[in-house]
Amino acid sequence: MQSGSQNRVETLKLRPGVTLVLSDINSGDECAFHHVEPEDVFAIGFHLKGGSRFDMEGTQFDTKPLEVHAGAAPRAATSSFVLPAHGFRTMSLRFAPEAAQELLARHGLANSSLTTMIAQVGQTVSAMRLAPLDRAGVAMLEAMFTTPYSGAGRSLFLESCALGLLAAQIDAARPGAHASETSTAERGLVEARSYLDAHLNDPPGIVQLARIAGMNDFKLKRAFKAAFGTTVFGYVRQRRMERAASDLHAGLSVAGAAHQAGYECPRCFSDGFRRHFGTLPSEVMRAALCRNSRTVRLILPRATHG
């Protein structure tokens, strides 16, 4: 895991042949990356925030917020992708081909287009857009990035969320199921939410945000609450608190996290954090410090003798 107040990439092996990857990139600049696949791989990416442009051995495609994509690539295949300056959040499930085939066959999808994609993974690169995230999927994915759990409890929580998101895709891929396209209004709401995410410290007024969403302010307020379960400014408070949880996991002090969340009073921040997450920020910070100290003790002796 690579972590910091701005960028975080975390991998977690769920079971043989299945790995979860959480990517939360907020560099403030557009970033280009290059990757070489170490093994044949099939992956499903659940995109929460920020789009990206991919080029995988000449196969080019774009991703957008709320979209879900499947991709397959053989060992040694190269890919290049560009992440936006305003940030990028995605969760990916990476499968060894045999693990993916067994999973799909077990759930009645042995003859699906995904199975065909996996069967050709050793010879060619391919990509496919799947069913978009719905409201429940968005909430589940957001919880994965902001959970205050640590240790084994956190791993179990992340796995349960990943399986829930995967279950929705399996259900949408079953014969007779038809995934609906994301509507223009939903796209506008996603744009509005992405703008809020990028301007948490100085959020726009309702009228300005309505222009970004392409609707009037009354419709925005009603549609935003229906889609995300909270008001616009309730969402800003929630995201500031979730960002504070990430900052605490990264080792920031309670006072520093309170300041980042817009609180002048650390005690008021602690009360709000406990109401939101059910635990005190000091407990999250102590757990992070213990985890980091264990990492230092494990790594430093090896580095000293290297």
CATH number of the domain where residue 261 is located:
1.10.10.60
Per residue in 250-266, pLDDT tens?
778 899 989 888 898 98
Per residue in 94-112, pLDDT tens?
999 999 999 999 888 888 8
> Where among 114, 139, 173 does a domain terminate?
173
208 and 238, same structural domain? yes
For residue 219 the two structure tokens come to 């419709």
What pLDDT, on the 0 to 100 scale, is given for residue 113?
85
125 and 34, same structural domain? yes
209 and 119, same structural domain? no
What contacts 8, CB < 8 A, 6 or more positions away?
1, 2, 22, 23, 24, 25, 246, 250
Quote the domain boundaries for residue 99: 7-173
Does the residue 93 lie in any domain?
yes
Per residue in 53-87, pLDDT tens?
788 777 777 788 888 999 999 999 898 888 776 67
pTM of the entire structure?
Answer: 0.62
Does the residue 31 lie in any domain?
yes
CA 207 to chain centre: 29
152 and 44, same structural domain? yes
At residue 177 the predicted structure's pLDDT band, cuts being 50, 70 and 90, is low
196 and 164, same structural domain? no
CA 191, CA 212: separation in Å to the nearest integer? 7
What pLDDT, on the 0 to 100 scale, is given for residue 219?
92
Helix 232-249 × helix 184-198 angle, to 10°: 50
169 and 42, same structural domain? yes
Per residue in 40-49, pLDDT tens?
999 999 998 8
CA distance readout (Å), 112 to 109, 115, 133, 259: 5, 5, 20, 50
153 and 274, same structural domain? no
131 and 24, same structural domain? yes
Does the residue 302 lie in any domain?
no
Sign of CA dihedral 75, 94, 173, 137: negative
Does the residue 136 lie in any domain?
yes
Residue with tokens 């006072």: 255
CATH number of the domain where residue 129 is located:
2.60.120.10
